[in-house]
Amino acid sequence: MARSQWLWRIGFLALPLTLYLVIVIAPLAYSFFFSLTDWNGFNPEYNFVGLGNFERIFSDPLFGNAIKNTVIWIAVALTVPVLGGLGLALILHEGMRGANVYKSLFYLPICLSLAVIGQIWIWIYQPRWGLLNLTLNGIGLEDLSRAWLADPGTALPSVILAWVWQQLGLGMVIFLAGLTAVPTELTDAAQIDGANYWQTLRHVVVPLLQPSTVVVVALAVINSLKSFDIVYIMTGGGPFHSSDTLAMFMYHESFKKYYMGYGSAISVVLFIIAVTVIAFYFRQIRALEHLYD
Amino acid sequence: MTDLSLYRYSQEEWDRLAAREATRRRVLQVVLYLLLTVLVILYSMPSIGVLITSFKSNAEISRGGLWSAPAQLNFANYQEAWVNGNVRTYALNSFLVTIPATVLSIALGVLLGYVFSQLPFRGSEALFILIVSGMFFPPQIVLVPLFRLFNTVGLYNTLWPMIIVHVAFGLPICTLITRNFFATVPSALREAAIIDGANEGQILVKVMLPISLPALAVLATLQFTWIWNDFLWPLIFTQSDNSRTIMVGLISLKGQYSVAWGVQGAMSVIASIPTLFIFIFFQRYFISGLTLGAVKG
A45-103 residue pLDDT tens = 888 888 888 988 888 999 999 999 999 999 999 999 899 999 999 888 887 778 888 88
CA distance B291 to chain A (A): 5
What secondary structure, in 3-state letters, does chain A show?
CHHHHHHHHHHHHHHHHHHHHHHHHHHHHHHHHHCCECCCCCCCCCCECCCHHHHHHHHCHHHHHHHHHHHHHHHHHHHHHHHHHHHHHHHHHCCCCCHHHHHHHHHHHHHCCHHHHHHHHHHHHCCCCCHHHHHHHHCCCHHHCCCCCCCCCCHHHHHHHHHHHHHHHHHHHHHHHHHHCCCHHHHHHHHHCCCCHHHHHHHHHHHHCHHHHHHHHHHHHHHHHHCCHHHHHHCCCCCCCCCCCHHHHHHHHHHHCCCHHHHHHHHHHHHHHHHHHHHHHHHHHHHHHHHHC
Counting Cα atoms < 13 Å in the Cβ hemisphere of B59 gives 3
CA distance A113 to chain B (A): 5
Q: What is the model's pLDDT at position B4?
A: 52
Q: What is the model's pLDDT at position B294?
A: 46
Q: What is the model's pLDDT at position B293?
A: 54
SS3 percent helix, strand, coil of chain B, rounded to 5, is: 80, 0, 20
How far is the C-alpha of B279 from the C-alpha of A112, rounded, in Å?
A: 10
Q: What percent of chain A has pLDDT over 70?
A: 98
Residue B2 pLDDT exceeds 70: no
Q: How many CB pairs under 8 A join A and B?
A: 247
- Identify the band that residue B261 occupies on the pLDDT scale cut at 50, 70 and 90: confident
* pLDDT tens-digit readout, B33-83: 888 888 888 888 888 888 888 888 877 877 777 777 777 788 888 888 888
Nearest CB partner across the interface for B29, out of A96, A107, A229: A96
CB-based contact A174 B287, cutoff 8 Å: no
- Which of A3-7, A149-153, A237-241, B94-98 is modeled with the greatest confidence? B94-98
Of A199-203, A213-217, B19-23, B289-293, the one with minimum mean pLDDT is B289-293
Nearest CB partner across the interface for A28, out of B141, B165, B272: B141
Backbone angles phi, psi at B199, to 5 degrees: -95, 175
Residue B118 pLDDT exceeds 80: yes
Contact residues, chain A, for B145 at CB < 8 Å: 26-28, 30-31, 34, 264
Counting Cα atoms < 13 Å in the Cβ hemisphere of B265 gives 27
For chain B, first and last CA: distance in Å? 52
Q: Could you give the C-alpha distances from A70 to A66, A94, A215, B163, in angstroms and in order?
A: 6, 36, 20, 30
Q: What is the model's pLDDT at position B1?
A: 47
- Identify the band that residue B225 occupies on the pLDDT scale cut at 50, 70 and 90: very high
Is A186 an 8 Å CB contact of chain B?
no
For A217, nearest residue in chain B (alpha carbons): B295
Q: What is the model's pLDDT at position B179?
A: 92
Q: What percent of chain B has pLDDT over 90?
A: 38
Backbone angles phi, psi at A126, to 5 degrees: -50, 130
How far is the C-alpha of A125 from the C-alpha of A278, rounded, in Å?
A: 35
Q: What is the model's pLDDT at position B230?
A: 93
A-facing residues of B in 68-107 (CB < 8 A) are: none
- Identify the band that residue A184 occupies on the pLDDT scale cut at 50, 70 and 90: confident
Counting Cα atoms < 13 Å in the Cβ hemisphere of B37 gives 9
The pTM score is: 0.89
The average pLDDT across B121-139 equals 90
How crowded is residue A60: how many other Cβ atoms within 10 Å of its Cβ? 16
- Identify the band that residue B297 occupies on the pLDDT scale cut at 50, 70 and 90: very low
Q: What is the model's pLDDT at position B7?
A: 57
Q: What is the model's pLDDT at position A162?
A: 93
How far is the C-alpha of A37 from the C-alpha of A35, rounded, in Å?
A: 6
How crowded is residue B32: how many other Cβ atoms within 10 Å of its Cβ? 13
Among residues A246, A242, A244, A241, which one has the least CA distance to residue A226? Answer: A246
Residue B9 pLDDT exceeds 70: no
Is A134 an 8 Å CB contact of chain B?
yes
Nearest CB partner across the interface for B168, out of A19, A104, A116: A19
User: Could you tell me which residues are beta bridge partners of residue A36?
Assistant: none
Q: Say which CATH topology domain B93-257+274-292 has.
A: MetI-like fold (1.10.3720)
Among residues A291, A229, A227, which one has the least CA distance to residue A76? Answer: A227
In whole numbers, what is the pLDDT of chain B averaged over residues? 86
Q: What is the model's pLDDT at position B295?
A: 41
For B43, nearest residue in chain A (alpha carbons): A106
C-beta of residue B266 within 8 angstroms of C-beta of residue B80: yes
How far is the C-alpha of A175 from the C-alpha of A25, rounded, in Å?
A: 33
* Mutate: best of A119, A125, A217, partner B, most B CBs <10 A: A119
Q: What is the model's pLDDT at position B5?
A: 53
Nearest CB partner across the interface for B201, out of A8, A39, A113: A8
CA angle B100, B103, B109 (to 5 degrees): 130
C-beta of residue B174 within 8 angstroms of C-beta of residue B219: yes
Contact residues, chain A, for B133 at CB < 8 Å: 278, 282
C-beta of residue B32 within 8 angstroms of C-beta of residue A98: no
Q: What is the model's pLDDT at position B284?
A: 84
How far is the C-alpha of A39 from the C-alpha of A35, rounded, in Å?
A: 9
Nearest CB partner across the interface for B171, out of A20, A115, A226: A20
CB-based contact B228 A113, cutoff 8 Å: yes
Residue A122 pLDDT exceeds 60: yes
- Which of A18-32, A199-213, B36-50 is modeled with the greatest confidence? A18-32
What domains are defined for chain A? 68-236 (1.10.3720.10)
How far is the C-alpha of A72 from the C-alpha of A248, rounded, in Å?
A: 15
How far is the C-alpha of B293 from the C-alpha of A219, rounded, in Å?
A: 11
- Identify the band that residue B296 occupies on the pLDDT scale cut at 50, 70 and 90: very low
